[in-house]
Amino acid sequence: MELGCRVAVGLMALAALCVAQPVKFKDCRSTAGKIIIVDITPCPLLPCVLHKGQSYAVNVTFASKTSSQKTVAAVYGLVNGILIPFNIPNADGCKSGIQCPIRSNQNYHYLNYLPVKEEYPSIKLVVQWELKDDLDRYLFCWKIPVQITN
């Protein structure tokens, strides 16, 4: 079962890489890693227009500066200086395209999805996406402007 899940995640990562477009992002505390590229499908321009009821593939390529047995992701909407948590399908980075344990000086491809719920308000905001190691250090942290719409 686990092998099937890993194959499915690998295929999703490959599909996302084939159609993803790099976006300009702002790094926000990536101390234990270095972001190489952020791809969001579809997001051809900033701000990313996110439609309610849709789900968006997020693929981050990063280089780790540390070793870690596990990773934990968190996503927030930054509204008027307040971080509001967004739910993502899987907060475990080791089940989101990354083969753990993480090793220092290696590149990794993180893949997850951001579902935009119907009940979200139509609003402009900044999305902040974080991935932390087992010592609570940021493997990556990036921000992009988005607009949630119908």
* Domains parsed from the chain with CATH numbers: 2-149 (2.60.40.770)
Residue 48: its H or E element: strand 48-51
Name every residue whose Cβ is closer than 8 Å to that of residue 122 and which is 6 or more positions away in sequence: 52, 148, 149, 150
Q: Tell me the pLDDT tens digit for each residue of 9-62.
A: 333 443 444 445 689 999 998 999 999 999 999 999 999 999 999 999 999 999
pLDDT at 113 over 60: yes
Amino acid identity for residue 6 in this structure = R
Mean pLDDT, rounded, for 140-148: 97
pLDDT at 87: 86
pLDDT at 22: 86
Q: Enter the pTM of the model.
A: 0.83
